[in-house]
Chain A
Amino acid sequence: MTSLTSFLLLLFTAVAQAISSSGSRLLVVLEDVAEKAQYSKFLGDLEGRGFEVTYETPKSDSLSLFHLGERSYDHILFFPTKAKGLGPNLTANLLLQFINAQGNILLALSGQKQAPTSVVAALSELDIHLPSERTGLVVDHFNYDVTSADEKHDVLLLPTPGALRPGVKDFFSPATPNGEVLALPQTIGQVLGNGALLTPILRAPATAYSYNPKEESEVLGDELFAAGKQLSLVTTVQARNSARLTIVGSADMLTDQWFDAKVKKVDGKASVATVNREFAKRVSGWTFNEIGVLKVNWIEHHLNEEGQGNQSNPKIYRIKNDVTYSISLSEYEWDHWAAFQVPAEDDLQLEFSMLSPFHRLSLKPTVNSEESTTYSTNFKLPDQHGIFNFKINHKRPFFNNIEEKNTVSVRHFAHDEWPRSYAISGAWPWISGIGATVTGWLFFVAIWLYSKPTGKGESKKTR
Chain B
Amino acid sequence: MAPKKSQASPAAAPVVTTATTATTVPTVSGPGKKTSSSSSSSATTSSEAWSNVVTNILKHYQKTTPQRTKLIDLFMAFLVVVGGLQFVYCVVAGNYPFNAFLSGFSATVGQFVLTASLRIQTTEANKADFPSVSPERAFADYVVGSLILHFFCVNFIN
Q: Is the interface of A mostly helix, strand, loop or mixed?
A: helix
Using known A-B contacts A426-B96, A433-B86, A440-B75, determine if residue A453 contacts B108 with beta carbons closer than 8 Å: no
Stretch of A7-15, A265-273, A442-450 at the chain-chain interface: A442-450
**Chain A residues whose C-beta falls within 8 Å of the C-beta of B89 in the assembled complex:** 429-430
The CA of A430 and the CA of B85, in the complex, are separated in Å by 9
A437 touches B94 (CB 8 A): no
**Chain A residues closer than 8 Å to B99, beta-carbon distance:** 421
Q: Is the CB of A463 within 8 A of B97?
A: no
Of B28-36, B51-59, B63-71, the stretch lying at the interface with chain A is B63-71
A424 within 8 A of B: yes
**B10 contacts which chain A residues (CB < 8 A)?**
454
- In the complex, how many angstroms separate the beta carbon of B124 from the nearest chain A beta carbon? 11
> In angstroms, how far is the closest chain A Cβ from the Cβ of B120?
16
Interface 9-residue window, one of B13-21, B40-48, B126-134:
B13-21
* Residue B49 CB within 8 A of the other chain: no
| A447, B103: Cα distance in complex, Å | 26
Interface string of A423-463 (1 = CB under 8 A from B): 01011011101101110110011011001011110011011
| B88 and chain A: residue at smallest CB distance | A429
| B157 proximal to A (CB < 8 A) | yes
Asked, given contacts A429-B89, A430-B104, A440-B79, whether A448 binds B71 with beta carbons under 8 Å apart, the answer is yes
Residue from A420, A445, A447, A454 within 8 A of B14 (CB atoms):
A454
| C-alpha spacing A309/B41, complex, angstroms | 85
Q: Are B107 and A456 in contact (CB under 8 A)?
A: no
Question: Which of A427, A437, A445, A459 lies in contact with B107, CB distance below 8 A?
Answer: A437
B27 contacts the other chain (CB 8 A): no
Q: Is the CB of A421 within 8 A of B158?
A: yes
- A461: nearest residue on chain B (CB-CB)? B67
**Does A418 reach chain B (CB closer than 8 Å)?**
yes
- Contact digits for A102-132, partner B, Cβ 8 Å, 1 yes 0 no: 0000000000000000000000000000000
- Per-position binary interface string of chain B over residues 68-97, scored 1 when its CB falls under 8 Å from any chain A CB and 0 otherwise: 101110010011001101100100011011
Q: Are B104 and A433 closer than 8 Å at their CB atoms?
A: yes
User: Which chain B residue lies CB-closest to A432?
Assistant: B104
Which residues on B sit within 8 Å (CB–CB) of A444?
A: 71-72, 75, 115
Give, as a whole number of angstroms, the nearest-CB distance from A80 to chain B. 76
List the B residue with the shortest CB-CB distance to A436: B82
Known: A418-B158, A453-B14. A433 touches B82 (CB 8 A): yes
Question: In this complex, which of B93, B108, B158 has the most chain A Cβ atoms within 10 angstroms of its Cβ?
Answer: B158
Point out the residues of chain B lying under 8 angstroms from A463, CB to CB: 67, 70
Would you call B70 and A437 a contact (CB within 8 A)? Answer: no
Q: Which of A424, A437, A456 is packed against the most chain B CB atoms within 10 Å?
A: A437
Q: Chain A residues near B75 (CB, 8 Å)?
A: 440-441, 444
Contact (A441, B18) CB under 8 Å given A424-B96, A447-B71:
no
A424 to B78 CA separation, bound complex (whole angstroms): 26
Contact A438 B71 (CB under 8 A): no
Question: With A438-B150, A451-B68, A453-B66 given, is the CB distance from A430 to B86 under 8 Å?
Answer: yes
Asked if residues A456 and B17 are in contact (CB atoms below 8 Å), the reply is yes
**SS class of chain B's interface: helix, strand, loop or mixed?**
helix
Residue of A nearest to B115 (CB): A444
B 95-125 binary contact with A (CB < 8 Å = 1; else 0)? 0110111011101100100010000000000
Cross-chain contact of A426 among B21, B85, B97, B154 (Cβ < 8 A): B97
Quick one: given A421-B158, A440-B75, A463-B70, are A434 and B14 in contact (CB under 8 Å)? no
Assess the B104–A429 pair: CB atoms within 8 A: yes
The residues of A that contact B94 with a CB separation of less than 8 Å are: 426
Bound together, the chains give a CA A424 to CA B104 distance in angstroms of: 14
Q: Are B154 and A434 in contact (CB under 8 A)?
A: yes
**Residues from chain A with Cβ under 8 Å of B79 in the complex:** 437, 440
Q: Would A453 and B103 be within 8 Å (CB), given that A426-B97, A433-B108, A440-B78 are in contact? A: no
- In the complex the two chains form, is A434's CB within 8 Å of B97's CB? no
One of A426, A434, A445, A453 near B67 (C-beta < 8 A): A453
Asked whether, in the complex, the Cβ of B85 is within 8 Å of the Cβ of A433, the reply is yes
Bound complex: CA A453 to CA B14 (Å): 7
B82 and A440 within 8 A (CB): yes
Which residues on the B side are within 8 Å of A427 (C-beta)?
A: 96-97, 100, 157
Bound-state CA distance A139–B143 (Å) is 104
For the complex, what is the distance from the CA of A448 to the CA of B69, rounded to whole Å? 10
CA of A455 to CA of B66, assembled, Å: 10
When distances are taken between beta carbons in the complex, the residues of chain B under 8 Å from A424 are 96-97, 100
**Chain B CB within 10 A, most for which of A434, A451, A456:** A434
Q: Contact check, B67 vs A459: say whether CB atoms are below 8 A apart.
A: yes
Additional pairs, 16, CB under 8 Å, beyond known A429-B85, A434-B153, A434-B154 = A426-B93, A426-B97, A430-B103, A430-B104, A430-B157, A431-B104, A434-B103, A434-B104, A437-B79, A437-B82, A438-B107, A441-B150, A444-B71, A453-B66, A455-B14, A460-B67
Q: Lowest 7 A-B CB distances belong to which pairs?
A: A430-B104, A427-B100, A433-B104, A459-B67, A427-B97, A430-B100, A433-B86
Interface set of A (CB-CB < 8 Å, partner B)? 418, 420-421, 424, 426-427, 429-431, 433-434, 436-438, 440-441, 444-445, 447-448, 451, 453-456, 459-460, 462-463
Interface CB pairs A-B, < 8 A, 11: A418-B158, A424-B96, A430-B86, A430-B105, A433-B105, A448-B68, A451-B67, A451-B71, A453-B68, A455-B14, A456-B14
Binding site for A on B (CB under 8 A): 10, 14, 17-18, 21, 66-68, 70-72, 75, 78-79, 82-83, 85-86, 89, 93-94, 96-97, 99-101, 103-105, 107-108, 111, 115, 139, 143, 146, 150, 153-154, 157-158
